[in-house]
Amino acid sequence: MTRPYYIAGNWKMHKTRSEAAELARTLTVKLKDGKHKYLVAPSFTSLETVGAIVKGTNILLGAQNMAAEEQGAHTGEVSVLQLKDLGVQVVILGHSERRHTYKEDDELVNKKVKLALRHGLDVILCIGELLSEREAGLAEKVCETQTRKGLEGVPVSDLARVTLAYEPVWAIGTGKTATPEDADAIHAYVRGVIERLYGASAAEKMIIQYGGSVKAENAAQLMAKENIDGALVGGASLKADTFVPIAMFG
Ligand code: PGA
């Protein structure tokens, strides 16, 4: 089967509202005839502004994180209800910066995944090993654990609303990209994990994005691999000039 390509831009903690609006406006024009699935994930502060711009276009609105609780005394957190109120359609969960800088563990990520799905949001669940784990030969094991634990309790009926993003931590923001062969090998392995958990048909349909220093120069080679179904782009998503060629590849 041919899976649709899904290209997402994670703007991380960049851009004021006016800067975010300018980029979003440009993308709506330049990606208008794009044939892939698109998403932009601005900071919480720009979600409403960007949401108004991408509404009704072929670009989905994503958030970069979400609280694990529906509401309550959680100073500094943002809830699923608040995201939905802003028109957010997708939430990125378990990003390596959340896991490693802010110490989110698999249990917390899993709680967020289930909460998001229960409220009708789609999820991009990020997985990926540290350099030390890769060097110790643990890349597959780490990705398997993060996938299994991240999806624990998620029924097969919700799986179509989950995208996986394989982002080797050593490749994020470093300019070092995994080779297409290395990335594809992990994607194939993770697809096998999904098959063991949910069956062959669900595994076949699962969209697995690659992330980690994706740029126009390497996007097409990565996407050409059988198990790479899109990209989660950080640095190169911050400018239309660098994101559009990735989004319009092929
Ligand atoms: P990068 O970030 O493209 O800047 O490496 C990717 C990500 O963190 O999603």
Per-residue pLDDT tens digits for 161-170 = 999 999 999 9
Q: Ligand 1 center to residue 176 CA distance, Å?
A: 11
Between CA 44 and CA 41 the distance in angstroms is 9
Give the pLDDT band of residue 1 (cuts 50, 70, 90).
low
Ligand 1: nearest atom to the Cα of 165: 9
CB atoms within 10 A of CB 26: 16
Q: Ligand 1 center to residue 144 CA distance, Å?
A: 21
Ligand 1: nearest atom to the Cα of 92: 9
pLDDT per position as a tens digit, 38-92: 999 999 999 999 999 999 999 999 999 999 999 999 999 999 999 999 999 999 9
Q: Ligand 1 center to residue 72 CA distance, Å?
A: 31
Give the pLDDT band of residue 175 (cuts 50, 70, 90).
confident
Q: Which residues are catalytic?
A: 95, 167
CB-count exposure of residue 217 (10 Å: 0-12, 13-18, 19+):
exposed
**CA distances, 168 to each of 133, 223, 230 (Å):** 10, 16, 15
Q: What is the pLDDT of residue 216?
A: 96
Domain boundaries, the chain: 6-247
What is the residue with the minimal CA distance to atom 2 of ligand 1? 234
CATH topology assigned to domain 6-247 = TIM Barrel (3.20.20)
Q: What is the pLDDT of residue 176?
A: 85
Residues with CB under 6 Å of ligand 1 are 10, 167, 172-173, 211-214, 232-236
Residue 107 has pLDDT above 90, yes or no: yes
What is the residue with the minimal CA distance to atom 3 of ligand 1? 234
> Probe ligand 1: pick from 232, 238, 242, max atoms within 8 Å of CB?
232
CB atoms within 10 A of CB 13: 9
Mean pLDDT of the chain: 97
pTM above 0.85, yes or no: yes
CB atoms within 10 A of CB 118: 11
pLDDT per position as a tens digit, 221-245: 999 999 999 999 999 999 999 999 9
pLDDT per position as a tens digit, 178-230: 899 999 999 999 999 999 999 999 999 999 999 999 999 999 999 999 999 99
Q: What is the pLDDT of residue 72?
A: 97
Percent over 90 (pLDDT), the chain? 96
Ligand 1: nearest atom to the Cα of 174: 5
> Probe ligand 1: pick from 233, 238, 243, max atoms within 8 Å of CB?
233
Map residue 50 onto helix, strand or coil: helix
What is the residue with the minimal CA distance to atom 1 of ligand 1? 234
What is the residue with the minimal CA distance to atom 7 of ligand 1? 234
Q: What is the pLDDT of residue 168?
A: 97
